[in-house]
A and B are shown apart, each in its own frame.
Chain A
Amino acid sequence: EPEVTQTPSHQVTQMGQEVILRCVPISNHLYFYWYRQILGQKVEFLVSFYNNEISEKSEIFDDQFSVERPDGSNFTLKIRSTKLEDSAMYFCASRAGGINEQFFGPGTRLTVL
């Protein structure tokens, strides 16, 4: 069964460093999402992406964040200069056009020291 994959599973970085989190959505899906979950808190929406552009973003998704679909298969989330409060689990999700169900990846645990 096709699935969303994410790499790495765990990333440790120093405050101020750039990180790139990678996702490979399900191959025929058209809509892509990033969510995050700070430890002990609920999952929060960051951004949605369709047709090579951002379709919606939350107030969390400020200028430090960017997304890209560089090669038609990968979908990346970049954090330019990480802060301690960026430590969280980051989930990628994708869905096919016209169908609402989103499929989630296993997540990347980001730890900022």
Chain B
Amino acid sequence: KNEVEQSPQNLTAQEGEFITINCSYSVGISALHWLQQHPGGGIVSLFMLSSGKKKHGRLIATINIQEKHSSLHITASHPRDSAVYICAVRSEETSGSRLTFGEGTQLTVNP
């Protein structure tokens, strides 16, 4: 079983729709990251969370430490939001600060 599970794997939406991507993890963590990967391959950090909720523009990330679950929400989605969204965790159980990644969610927003 993967330490980090994301759902859905693929998501297609119409422009303007509210998007939710989910991430569940099985280990104790010190931080969770949401990352965005565009078709060219580059990775951009969107959020780093250890508790609660963060908001940046149309993006909102929440985390529930007790339930080992995080969600990434996109409000008023736009075609330029089309990308792969990746959840990654920093485990409490490793001595270093390595990240363990989910498989990613491919989001396509149609105009």
Which chain A residues have a beta carbon within 8 Å of chain B's beta carbons? 31, 33, 35, 37, 42-45, 48, 55-56, 58, 89, 91, 95, 100-107, 109
Contacts and interface: CB of A to CB of B under 8 A. Distances in A.
B31 interface: yes
A90 to B, nearest CB: 10
B11 interface: no
Interface of B: 30-31, 33, 35, 40-45, 48, 50, 86, 88, 90, 94-104
Contacts of A106: 40-42
A37 B43 CA distance: 11
A107 B42 contact: yes
Contact of A45 (B31, B45, B98, B103): B98
Given A104-B42, A104-B44, A43 B97 contact: no
B42 A95 contact: no
B97 A100 contact: yes
A33 B25 CA distance: 22
B98 A104 contact: no
Contact of A101 (B33, B96, B100): B33
Contact of A107 (B43, B94, B103): B43
